[in-house]
Amino acid sequence: MSWWPFGNKFSKLKREEVVGAICSLQTQEEALENGVEEKSQRINELIERGRVEPSREKKIFYAQKIKIMKEERQSEMQQALFLLYNISLLNKLKTVIDDNNFVRINKSLPLNKLLTDQKGLAVFLNKALNTKLRNEEIMTGADDVFKDIRSVYAPSSEIYGADDDSFLDVFKEAVPVSGQYARRSVSQSIEEDGAEDNKLWN
């Protein structure tokens, strides 16, 4: 039960009512603002007229009129400031109503209703987390198996030539001569290979 004996008057407040009040105050404030601008222009005109007026009586008349108009302008400015502050408060109230309606509408969605069951939510989250942890352990375990098997594997040098530099000797047949590569002809290769064989047999 609410502590307020007369009930909450804001519970029945409609957004349209607040918006209507804001529009009404804005109309009044704009009228006062226009009045202030008009009086300011009129005051400036009277000041300029009084400066060039040779008659002392008219100068006094203009000065008195300027004084009255400044007092009226000051009063209208204060009223406009009051309305602006009031409009600011009503805008805050409208924002609260909008937020309340937004939450109320989204709260009624079927999926959001599930969030009210926090115990069930906790069970679901724990189950999902445990499932994630188990799958992560399976994947990291499989990765460890890959690493363990590969750590004891050494590629065959006979097949891949990974540790045998003799595979690279083929590139030594071309030697640079005056900026160009002189390659052995087929006949030169045969003669040289034959000479090597004779050395072995002699």
Residue 127 lies in a domain: no
User: From CA 20, how far away is CA 142, in angstroms rounded?
Assistant: 68
Confidence of residue 84 (pLDDT cuts 50, 70, 90): very high
Residue 28 lies in a domain: yes
The predicted structure's pLDDT at residue 45: 95
Cβ–Cβ under 8 Å, residues 39 and 77: no
Residue 159 lies in a domain: no
Number of structural domains the chain divides into: 2
Residue 181 lies in a domain: yes
Name the range with the highest mean pLDDT among 36-50, 88-102, 114-128.
36-50
Angle of CA points 89, 90, 92, to nearest 5°: 65
Helices (H), the chain: 15-52, 56-107, 110-114, 118-151, 157-160, 186-201
Q: Looking at the structure, tell me whether residues 17 and 89 fall in a common domain.
A: yes
pTM: 0.53
Cβ–Cβ under 8 Å, residues 47 and 66: yes
User: From CA 48, how far away is CA 193, in angstroms rounded?
Assistant: 120
The predicted structure's pLDDT at residue 173: 56
Between residues 20 and 176, which one has the greater pLDDT? 20
| pLDDT over threshold 80, residue 8 | no
Q: What is the pLDDT of residues 52-70, one digit of tens each?
A: 999 999 999 999 999 999 9
Q: Domain range for residue 179?
A: 166-201
- The tokens for 189 are 């290769």
Confidence of residue 5 (pLDDT cuts 50, 70, 90): very low
Residue 113 half-sphere exposure toward CB, CA atoms < 13 A: 4
Q: What would you measure as the largest C-alpha separation in the chain, in angstroms?
A: 147
Residue 55 half-sphere exposure toward CB, CA atoms < 13 A: 6
% of residues, the chain, pLDDT over 90: 48
